[in-house]
Structure 1
């Protein structure tokens, strides 16, 4: 069963039971990527690793 078919089945089931519809596949992908990036940056701060990339260039100014 594909992701689209599962989503349609879940949507149909939710409508029949009067429950809120599930989010569409891929709707929260960018939010997850941002949260993962923030988590890695936070871990770097706790481990006292130096900043890299754009953050480092901003701190050097």
Structure 2
């Protein structure tokens, strides 16, 4: 059964039972993406890592490594 068929069946059942219709598939996708991003940032802060710019910083270190004498 596809997502659309399940949604139509759930909508039909909700209508027959007098309940509110379920949200359409994909209605909250962007909200989920935002929540995942916020959760990753929160976990980074808890682990005492920078919450933003981690990928850019890693690429910068890989592209321009420090010389050994600078340490």
The alignment's TM-score, normalised by the length of structure 2, stands at: 0.71
Does the C-alpha gap of structure 1 residues 48 and 4 become closer, same or farther in structure 2, counting only changes over 3 Å? same
Aligned residue in 2 for 1:34: 34
Task: Confirm whether residue 19 of structure 1 aligns to residue 19 of structure 2.
Answer: yes
| Separation of aligned partners in 2, 1:6 and 1:47 | 41
SS at match of 1:33: helix
Counterpart Cα distance in 2 of 1:28 and 1:14: 20
How many residue pairs match? The answer is: 54
Partners of 2:34 and 2:42 in 1: CA distance: 12
Structure 2 gaps, min length 5 = 57-71
Offset at residue 50 of structure 1 (A): 2.3
Structure 1 gaps of 5+ residues are 57-61
RMSD between aligned residues: 1.5
Which secondary structure state, in structure 2, belongs to the residue aligned with residue 27 of structure 1? coil
